[in-house]
């Protein structure tokens, strides 16, 4: 219970939506209740019907009402069930739409425009799965449980009103299968689930590790090691699963024993209660026949409850996302065109880090200037870029555009910075739509012009669907160089004064790289460019080269200057173009 409270303490994912769609929720529960009620009532009524008929009453009038009711309940049960299923699915899918939006917004707040790896994709898939889990929480646990309890209360009160002693017995007996056993299942299964999750996680990591390194396994010829590595986790999973199954079977059996006891209690009770007269005795069959359909919803309650630990983990994970919101800064915009980017004593340390990733960097960039930034991985280049665009808040110092702090310009950021990175993302839609993302108000002609400017006109127009060609998942319809060009077209439409190039050519071959860089600098000749690059191809395009080492600049100057005066630079440049 304490656990349950803790899970929902700061919950913004389950409770608010229960409240938001209260009406539909009540309807679903009502329909669910009526389904089982009608099922029980059908048999109750039928039992009475044939008992009464067997007395061979003088007129058909005596069984007329039960006959009509039999048909009514016979029709009502499937109808209620049908409507209930439609309503509940609709309800859940509605919530899922809200969830997706909410998850998107939560992730959006934390996303950075400077992104190096796509590894986060896995985390995102996990989150998307979590949403599905919460969907199942309603369909498989919440609805059946609540409906079960409603029926439980109804039955106890119904029998209790005829005989409070038997009512009390029902309360206890049925309480075992509707309350005690689900709770026990949560407890046992919680521990087991946790263990199973851990083992599965190990298995999952091992397996991924093996599959990714398959080439090495194959060449090494270590077939037996490869197979044996999996044996242990497979065995432990199997053992756990076995215990889980046994537990389930015997739990179901226990539920049936409780049902048997309930049936016997009702039989004995009706033997005493209803055998005083013939007309009363007709009720015996009614009660006896109604028991099995009436208790049928209780059979799966424990199973639904035992899935709770899975849902709990999902709920906690999505709720954890909400933590650590960013301090809002009052936003403003620039009155005049961009005239200076100043970086003053910029220092940054990650909250969980112990060293400054960026150390006291200062520089000023004027419109039209082009700066290249080099350095080994891990020296703080991408952190530096994140600080420049305002995705991170500096520990010390500031980034100013026209003397305005960048942190207060976040709302107008896309009118200031255009970014071309390593793997610019193309969405799974048409070429036209993808390029138009640069400026959603651009006309078709403007989009086509931009595509022509980056040199893709002939290629796109040669495709059967031309500008309506689907780029497919992550843009895989096009090659790396083509994807970069499409993104460049997007940036042309965006028309921001400062362009950040974040290693855009890292996965391209030298010829494609050279052509792309020539294109970029040709089209963006009047823009201010900050270019992070991993080698020196195309370096002649810039006015300034800065080498970054441990969060600071060490070597800097124009490429020509550096080539003349710095042997280290000269050596690297010659290496880069293959003259050693």
Residues 353-392 that bind another protein (CB under 8 A): 374-378
Q: Other C-beta atoms within 10 Å of 280: how many?
A: 12
Q: Which of residues 175-204 bind another protein (CB under 8 A)?
A: 200, 203-204
Q: What is the dihedral of CA 78, 83, 88, 90, to 10 degrees?
A: 140
Number of residues forming the site for another protein (CB under 8 A): 164
| Antiparallel, parallel or unpaired: β 528-532 and 498-502 | parallel
**350 binds another protein, rule: CB under 8 A:** no
Determine which residue in the list 250, 332, 443, 444 makes contact with another protein, applying CB under 8 A: 250
Cβ-based burial of 520 (10 A; exposed 0-12, middle 13-18, buried ≥19): buried
**Least Å from the CB of residue 4 to another protein:** 27
- Tally the C-alpha atoms within 13 A of residue 278's C-alpha that lie toward its C-beta: 7
Query: What residues numbered 212-241 form the site for another protein, per CB under 8 A?
Result: 212-223, 226-227, 230, 234, 238, 241
What are the angstrom distances between the C-alpha of 556 and each of 212, 349, 374, 502, 505? 41, 24, 10, 19, 22
- Judged by CB under 8 A, the chain residues 59 through 98 that form the site for another protein are 60, 63, 66-67, 70-71, 73-75, 77-79, 81-82, 85-86, 89-90, 93-94, 96-98
Buried b / exposed e along 251-273 (16+ C-beta atoms within 10 A):
beeebeebbeebbebbeebbeeb
Nearest residue (CB) to another protein, 90 versus 362: 90
Residues in the chain, how many?
Answer: 580
Residue from 22, 245, 366, 525 that binds another protein (CB under 8 A)?
A: 245
Task: In angstroms, give the least distance from the CB of 234 to another protein.
Answer: 6
Sequence-separated (6 or more) residues with CB below 8 Å from residue 354: none
165 binds another protein (CB under 8 A): no
Task: Candidates 4-12, 50-58, 156-164, 181-189: pick the segment binding another protein (CB under 8 A).
Answer: 50-58
Sign (positive or negative) of CA dihedral 562, 563, 564, 570:
positive
Instruction: Fill in the per-residue mask, 286 to 315: x = in contact with another protein (CB under 8 A), - = not in contact.
Output: --xx--xx----------------------
- Tokens found for residue 103: 């998850």
Q: Supply the minimum distance, in Å, between the C-beta of residue 169 and another protein.
A: 17
What are the distances in angstroms from CA 408 to CA 114, 329, 332, 382, 394?
18, 6, 6, 21, 13
Q: Please say which residue, 14 or 409, places its beta carbon nearer to another protein.
A: 409
Candidate ranges 11-19, 147-155, 182-190, 284-292; the one touching another protein (CB under 8 A): 284-292
Residues 557-576 within binding reach of another protein (CB under 8 A)? 559-560, 563, 571-573, 575-576
Token pair, residue 335, equals 């009155």
The alpha-helical segments, DSSP class H, found in 137-213 are 143-162, 164-175, 181-212
Least distance (Å) between residue 5 CB and another protein: 31
Shortest distance, position 3 Cβ to another protein, whole Å? 26
Query: 81 vs 396, which CB is nearer to another protein?
Result: 81
Residues 6+ apart with CB under 8 A from 373: 381, 384, 530, 531, 532, 533, 546, 548
Query: Which of the residues 501 through 520 are near another protein (CB under 8 A)?
Result: 506-512, 514
Binders of another protein among residues 424 to 483 (CB under 8 A) are 424-425, 427-428, 437-438, 440, 473-474, 479-480
**In the complex, minimum distance from the CB of residue 516 to another protein, in angstroms, rounded to a whole number:** 12
Binding positions for another protein, 98-157, rule CB under 8 A:
98, 100-101, 103-105, 107-108, 111-115, 118, 120-121, 124-125, 127-128
- What is the closest distance, in whole angstroms, from the C-beta atom of residue 46 to another protein in the complex? 4
For another protein, the closer of residues 56 and 161 by Cβ is 56
- The residue within the footprint of another protein, chosen from 3, 10, 198, 272 (CB under 8 A), is 272
Q: Does 421 bind another protein (CB under 8 A)?
A: yes
Stretch 388-417 residues interacting with another protein (CB under 8 A): 413-415, 417
Give residues with Cβ within 8 angstroms of 9, minimum separation 6.
none
Nearer to another protein, 158 or 376 (CB): 376
Q: In whole angstroms, what is the distance from residue 477 CA to residue 496 CA?
A: 28
Burial letters 391-423, b for 16+ CB under 10 A, else e? bbebeebebbbeebebbebbeebeebbbbbbbb
DSSP designation for 57: -
- Minimum distance from CB of 125 to another protein (Å)? 6
């Amino acid at each position: 219970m304490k656990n349950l409270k803790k899970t929902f303490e700061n919950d913004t994912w389950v409770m608010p939506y229960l409240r938001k769609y209260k009406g539909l929720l009540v309807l679903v529960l009502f329909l669910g209740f009526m389904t089982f009620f009608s099922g029980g009532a059908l048999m109750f009524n039928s039992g009475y019907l044939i008992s009464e008929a067997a007395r061979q009453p003088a007129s058909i009038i005596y069984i007329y009402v039960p006959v009509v009711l039999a048909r009514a309940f016979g029709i009502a049960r499937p109808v209620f069930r049908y409507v209930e299923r439609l309503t509940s699915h609709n309800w859940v899918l509605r919530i899922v739409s809200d969830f997706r939006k909410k998850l998107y917004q939560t992730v959006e707040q934390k996303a950075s425009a400077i992104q190096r790896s796509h590894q986060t994709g896995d985390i995102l898939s996990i989150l998307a799965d979590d949403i599905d889990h919460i969907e199942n929480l309603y369909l498989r646990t919440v609805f059946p449980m609540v409906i079960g309890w409603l029926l439980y209360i109804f039955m106890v009160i119904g029998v209790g009103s005829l005989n409070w002693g038997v009512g009390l017995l029902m309360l206890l007996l049925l309480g075992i299968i509707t309350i005690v056993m689900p709770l026990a299942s949560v407890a046992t299964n919680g521990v087991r689930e946790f263990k199973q999750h851990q083992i599965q996680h190990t298995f999952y990591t091992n397996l991924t590790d093996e599959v990714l390194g398959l080439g090495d396994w194959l060449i090494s010829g270590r077939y037996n090691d490869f197979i044996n590595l999996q044996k242990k986790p497979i065995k432990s999973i199997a053992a756990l699963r076995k215990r889980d199954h046994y537990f389930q079977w015997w739990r179901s059996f226990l539920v049936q024993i409780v049902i048997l006891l309930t049936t016997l209690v009702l039989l004995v009770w009706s033997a005493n209660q209803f055998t005083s007269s013939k007309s009363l005795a007709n009720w015996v069959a009614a009660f006896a026949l109604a028991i099995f359909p009436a208790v049928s919803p209780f059979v799966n309650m424990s199973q639904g409850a035992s899935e709770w630990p899975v849902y709990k983990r999902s709920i906690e994970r999505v709720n954890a996302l909400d933590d650590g919101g960013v301090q809002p800064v009052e936003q403003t915009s620039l009155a005049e065109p961009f005239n200076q980017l100043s970086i003053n004593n910029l220092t940054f340390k990650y909250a969980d880090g112990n060293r400054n990733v960026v150390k006291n960097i200062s520089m000023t960039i004027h419109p039209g200037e082009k700066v290249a930034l080099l350095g080994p991985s891990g020296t703080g280049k991408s952190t530096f870029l994140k600080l420049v665009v305002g995705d991170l808040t500096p520990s010390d110092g500031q980034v100013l555009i026209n003397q305005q702090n960048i942190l207060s310009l976040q709302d107008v950021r896309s009118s200031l910075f255009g970014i071309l990175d390593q793997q610019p993302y193309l969405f799974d839609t048409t070429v036209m739509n993808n390029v138009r993302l640069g400026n959603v108000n651009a006309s078709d002609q403007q989009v086509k012009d931009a595509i022509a400017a980056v040199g893709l006109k002939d290629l796109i127009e040669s495709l059967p669907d031309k500008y309506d060609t689907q780029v497919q998942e992550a843009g895989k319809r096009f090659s790396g160089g083509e994807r970069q060009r499409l993104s460049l077209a997007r940036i042309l439409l965006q028309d921001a004064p400062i362009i950040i190039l974040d290693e855009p050519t890292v996965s391209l071959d030298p010829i494609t790289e050279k052509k792309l860089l020539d294109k970029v600098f040709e089209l963006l000749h009047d823009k201010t460019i900050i270019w992070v690059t991993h080698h020196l191809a195309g370096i002649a395009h810039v006015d300034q080269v800065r080498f970054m080492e441990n969060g600071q600049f060490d070597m800097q100057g124009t490429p020509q200057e550096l080539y003349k005066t710095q042997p280290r630079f000269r050596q690297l440049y010659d290496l880069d173009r293959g003259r050693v």
